[in-house]
Amino acid sequence: MAWSLQMKTLKNKDLEKNIPKKTLAENSLNEDHKLLVQWYEKNKRSLPWRISKDPYKIWLSEVMLQQTTVTAVIPYYDKFLNLFPTVQHLADAAENEVMAAWAGLGYYSRARNLHKAAKHLAENGFPKTAAGLIEFPGFGPYTSRAVASIAFGERVGVLDGNVIRVLSRRHGLHLEWWNNKPRQELQTLSDHLALLGAPEKTNQGLMELGATVCTPKKVMCILCPWSSKCVARKNDAVELLPLKKARKKTEIWVWKPIVAIKDKKVALVKNDYAPFLKNQLIFPGQISMEKNKPKDCKLRHSITHHDIFIQVELKKNLAGTNLHWVNLSELKKVNPSSLLQKVLGQVL
Ligand code: SF4
């Protein structure tokens, strides 16, 4: 066990000095676990993916919830399951149909990986462990642990932004969680909690606590099951934890896409020139990184740290062997990004 970490977390002066340290750490985690599970059972929100143990539905919800809020996900989740009620339906679907159902949710590589993995999982079934699931496209450490614990009861802990925040505050950990070693310490702590039993409730409890009580702002410690034991609360350090990672500096890009339309078809190329929407079909064109924002360019779009200023050029025709001519009505299916729609909106 990572006792070094646990001792770091148990500095409170009010702990009995002559109780063996290991017992203190064990007791503390046992009690945390009990309080957390009880709190979750009482306070969990009623969400559509919580009524089933079907690994496909749990997996789908976990993938959709990455980078997206619960409120935004619910209608997509329902629509997706209506179209593809089982992993077999998803595996049998054409990629265009999957992308169309995902359009608007963003981060489209999630949908591509979901579809790819479904083809394997429909044929061979879901492995019941995180170690087995992580072999499939799009299953990172978080998703594989979430699915294995919630659907199959494997005693493995999850670690996402919510869990990092809750554990860092509860234990007063000033860790650079974005680096491997400190992150592993938090993972170990989460694993220890899950090992104490009911991993589906432990993991969902941690995530729920982070989403509804131990939030980034307006923290509601009064409603927290750990409020009397929380180190950050005692030390008035709630706002300081977890440590904040320096943001990637925003880059200014000027993109000059060429929109060529012929017979209700538009020319696209596989993107090997722009730093966003990589390897996806986008308009041909040119791009440059600039120091200053161009003054006369009103069309603008942001993707992660790319601040994109767009100057559209309309052409009647275009030649080239690398062009893909796509029906205008199919564009959303081929590339659902709102950036392409924004560009097209300028010329239609
Ligand atoms: S007491 Fe407050 S800061 Fe500590 S874990 Fe609970 S909600 Fe978070």
* pLDDT tens digits along 42-99: 999 999 999 999 999 999 999 999 988 999 999 999 999 999 999 999 999 999 899 9
CA of 50 to the centre of ligand 1 (A): 24
The reply to whether ligand 1 has any atom less than 6 angstroms from the CB of 158 is no
CA of 66 to the centre of ligand 1 (A): 23
pLDDT at 21 over 70: no
Residue from 303, 315, 311 nearest 346 by CA:
311
- How far apart (Å, rounded) are the C-alpha atoms in residues 337 and 283? 12
Residue from 211, 206, 219 nearest 159 by CA:
206
- How far apart (Å, rounded) are the C-alpha atoms in residues 285 and 293? 19
Name which residue sits closest to atom 1 of ligand 1, judged by CA: 227
Phi-psi region of 125 (alpha: psi -120 to 50; beta: other; left: phi over 0): left
- pLDDT of 296: 86
The reply to whether ligand 1 has any atom less than 6 angstroms from the CB of 165 is no
pLDDT at 223 over 70: yes
- pLDDT of 4: 42
Between 58 and 297, residue with greater pLDDT: 58
Task: Tell me the pLDDT tens digit for each residue of 260-294.
Answer: 999 999 999 999 999 999 989 999 999 999 999 99
Q: DSSP alpha helices (H): ranges in 108-223?
A: 109-124, 130-133, 141-152, 161-171, 180-195, 199-212
The reply to whether ligand 1 has any atom less than 6 angstroms from the CB of 213 is yes
- How far apart (Å, rounded) are the C-alpha atoms in residues 210 and 204? 10
Which residues touch 254 (CB under 8 Å, ≥6 apart)? Answer: 287, 288, 290, 294, 297, 308, 309, 310, 311
- How far apart (Å, rounded) are the C-alpha atoms in residues 1 and 188? 8
CATH class of 251-347: alpha beta
- pLDDT of 12: 37
Which residue from 226, 229, 235, 236 has its CB within 8 A of the most atoms of ligand 1, so it is best to mutate?
226
- pLDDT of 23: 52
- pLDDT of 106: 85
List the catalytic residue out of 62, 185, 200, 208.
62
Backbone dihedral angles phi then psi of residue 247, each to the nearest 5 degrees: -70, 150
- How far apart (Å, rounded) are the C-alpha atoms in residues 23 and 8? 14
62 is catalytic: yes
The reply to whether ligand 1 has any atom less than 6 angstroms from the CB of 238 is yes
- pLDDT of 26: 67
pLDDT at 169 over 50: yes
What predicted TM-score, i.e. pTM, was given to this entire model? 0.76
Percent of the chain clearing pLDDT 90 (strictly above):
78
pLDDT at 8 over 60: no
The reply to whether ligand 1 has any atom less than 6 angstroms from the CB of 87 is no
CA of 193 to the centre of ligand 1 (A): 17
- How far apart (Å, rounded) are the C-alpha atoms in residues 331 and 340? 8
Q: What is the average pLDDT score of the chain? A: 91
The reply to whether ligand 1 has any atom less than 6 angstroms from the CB of 215 is no
- pLDDT of 98: 94
Which amino acid is located at 134 in the chain?
A: I
CA of 244 to the centre of ligand 1 (A): 17
Q: How many CB atoms lie within 10 A of CB 259?
A: 21
Q: How many CB atoms lie within 10 A of CB 185?
A: 21
* Angle 318-346-104 from CA coordinates, rounded to 5°: 100
In the chain the beta strands, taken as DSSP E runs, fall at 251-262, 265-270, 281-282, 285-290, 300-303, 306-310, 313-315, 324-327
Ligand 1 atom, smallest distance to 229 CA: 1
- How far apart (Å, rounded) are the C-alpha atoms in residues 219 and 238? 8
Q: Which residue has the tokens 């360019």?
A: 297
Side-chain-side CA neighbours of residue 126 (13 Å): 22
- pLDDT of 9: 40
pLDDT at 188 over 60: yes
Q: Fill in the DSSP letter of residue 229.
A: T
Q: Which residue has the tokens 């200014």?
A: 252
Hey, which CATH number is domain 48-240, 1.10.340.30, 3.30.450.30, 3.90.1150.10, 1.10.10.10? Answer: 1.10.340.30
- How far apart (Å, rounded) are the C-alpha atoms in residues 313 and 329? 20
Ligand 1 atom, smallest distance to 219 CA: 7
- Reported as a pLDDT band with limits 50, 70 and 90, residue 17 is very low
Question: Structural domain boundaries of the chain?
Answer: 48-240, 251-347
The reply to whether ligand 1 has any atom less than 6 angstroms from the CB of 232 is yes
Name which residue sits closest to atom 5 of ligand 1, judged by CA: 170
> Span 230-253, mean pLDDT?
94
